[in-house]
Amino acid sequence: MLSSLEDLNAALRENRPDDYVTDAHQQTGMSPVSFGPGTSEWEWDATRTLVLNPFGYVAGGYLSLFADELMSSAIGSVMGEGEFATTAESKINFIKPVEKGLVKGTSKVLRKGKRVAFLEATIVNKKDEVVATVSSTWTVVGP
């Protein structure tokens, strides 16, 4: 696992998903598939009891966490030297309950300015049905 801001952003820019995985990703079953300029794709083995609500479905908070991982890796791939971004606002639309199993997501940067960025993400279930959509505003910090 990489630790410095520059190393993390380089892993994103250079499409090195294995270098981006953390202990938290492993514990939740989330794993990056690929990164591109302003984009990311992840998969999630959402079968662990940890991520399920009492009804046996994936808990909404974990879907929000998955969306944040999607978008943070997409924005990180377009950060300049010394820049980083933090979530300023996020809106998630839960379209249908998510059964445990494979969940996939994609994200893209719609626009990155000097101090604000706009992103979106889409999350699908194992049947490739859209289960959540997300729009988010990020604060860009740095030089």
pLDDT digits (tens, 9 = 90+) for 31-51: 999 999 999 999 999 999 999
Q: What is the pLDDT of residues 87-111, one digit of tens each?
A: 999 999 999 999 999 999 999 999 9
φ/ψ region of 67 (left if φ > 0, alpha if ψ in -120 to 50, else beta) reads: alpha
Quote the pLDDT of residue 3.
56
Q: What is the pTM of this model?
A: 0.93
Kindly report each contact of residues 122-125 with a partner whose C-beta sits within 8 Å and lies 24 or more positions away, as own/partner.
Answer: 123/63, 123/66, 123/67, 123/70, 123/98, 125/96, 125/98, 125/99, 125/101
Nearest CA to 62 out of 23, 97, 37 is that of 97
How far apart are the C-alpha atoms of 9 and 129, rounded to whole Å?
31
Handedness of CA 50, 137, 80, 36 (dihedral sign): positive
